[in-house]
Amino acid sequence: MTKFGFIRHGSTAWNKERRAQGSSDIPLDQDGINEARMLADRLSGEEWDAIYASPLLRARQTAEIIVGSLGIEEIHFDPRLREIGGGQIEGTIEEERIAKWGSGWRELDLGVEKHEEVLERGLPAIKDITEAHPGKNILIVSHGAFIRKIVSELVPAMKNEPPLNNTSVTLVGHTGEVWECGLYNCTKHLG
């Protein structure tokens, strides 16, 4: 069985401000660095064969903290694992979006990457990673909205799950064509 451990990056200042990050290259804040260190301690007791990550700074930093505890020599950065592009809403909070575009802003075309576009890049990335590491345990350090879209596509029963917490672990595995989610949004390492 091939097993994926999907990891959402550690926290950022924009997470705390509830700003849409999208493809903006935001670094971890000190809490995010500490969360990633706690996650690294948790993962060090598990067996992981490879680590892939979004190249966006917050995911890159999280992966770099984790990899040191795993004995894995290389992080594979794949731009297909980046967060959903936020278009014009990047850098804004809900109140600013309402003030600028009204309460129906979600129905407007503000350049947010469409669901189908995310799947068109994300699912081939998962397929390529699976083919490169058959039967292995692979960590993917990415972003909350991206992970939720991919997991809910692989395991349709997961479509209505809540948003992911920073440094959460979601385990998805497959044998043949059947994908199963064995753990969702777990942050037990944060105490």
CATH number at residue 182: 3.40.50.1240
User: Tens of pLDDT along 18-58?
Assistant: 999 999 999 999 999 999 999 999 999 999 999 999 999 99
Number of domains in the chain: 1
pLDDT of residue 18: 95
In a 13 Å sphere around the CA of 96, the CA atoms on its Cβ side amount to 10
pLDDT of residue 103: 96
Q: Tell me the mean pLDDT in the region 8-22.
A: 97
Q: Tell me the mean pLDDT in the region 12-21.
A: 96
Tell whether residue 13 is among the known ligand binding residues: yes
Provide the residue range defining the domain that includes 161: 2-86+113-190
Tell whether residue 58 is among the known ligand binding residues: yes
Selected catalytic residue, list 35, 47, 64, 83? 83
Asked whether the beta carbons of 140 and 129 are under 8 A apart, the reply is: yes
- Evaluate if residue 174 carries a pLDDT over 90: no
Cα separation, 167 vs 175, in Å, equals 26
Both tokens assigned to 70: 């795993």
Is residue 103, in this structure, part of any structural domain at all? no
User: Tens of pLDDT along 64-105?
Assistant: 999 989 989 899 999 999 999 999 999 999 999 999 999 999
Asked whether the beta carbons of 46 and 171 are under 8 A apart, the reply is: no
Selected catalytic residue, list 9, 35, 90, 143? 9
What residue ranges in 94-177 does DSSP mark as E strands?
137-142, 169-175
- Evaluate if residue 176 carries a pLDDT over 80: no
Q: Per DSSP, what are the bridge partners of residue 132? A: none
Is residue 157, in this structure, part of any structural domain at all? yes
pLDDT of residue 167: 98
Is residue 146, in this structure, part of any structural domain at all? yes
Is residue 99, in this structure, part of any structural domain at all? no
Cα separation, 58 vs 131, in Å, equals 27
Cα separation, 67 vs 12, in Å, equals 20
Tell whether residue 165 is among the known ligand binding residues: no
Question: In the annotation, is 9 catalytic?
Answer: yes
Is residue 104, in this structure, part of any structural domain at all? no
Instruction: Report residue 55: phi and psi, to 5°.
Output: -80, -5
Question: In the annotation, is 143 catalytic?
Answer: no
Query: What H or E segment, with its residue span, contains residue 151?
Result: helix 144-154
Asked whether the beta carbons of 18 and 94 are under 8 A apart, the reply is: yes
pLDDT of residue 105: 96
Residue bearing the bigger pLDDT, 45 or 185: 185
Tell whether residue 87 is among the known ligand binding residues: no
Tell whether residue 10 is among the known ligand binding residues: yes
Tell whether residue 19 is among the known ligand binding residues: no
* Burial (CB count <10 Å: 0-12, 13-18, 19+), residue 67: buried
pLDDT band at 107 (very low <50, low <70, confident <90, very high): very high
pLDDT band at 175 (very low <50, low <70, confident <90, very high): confident
pLDDT of residue 1: 87
pLDDT of residue 88: 97
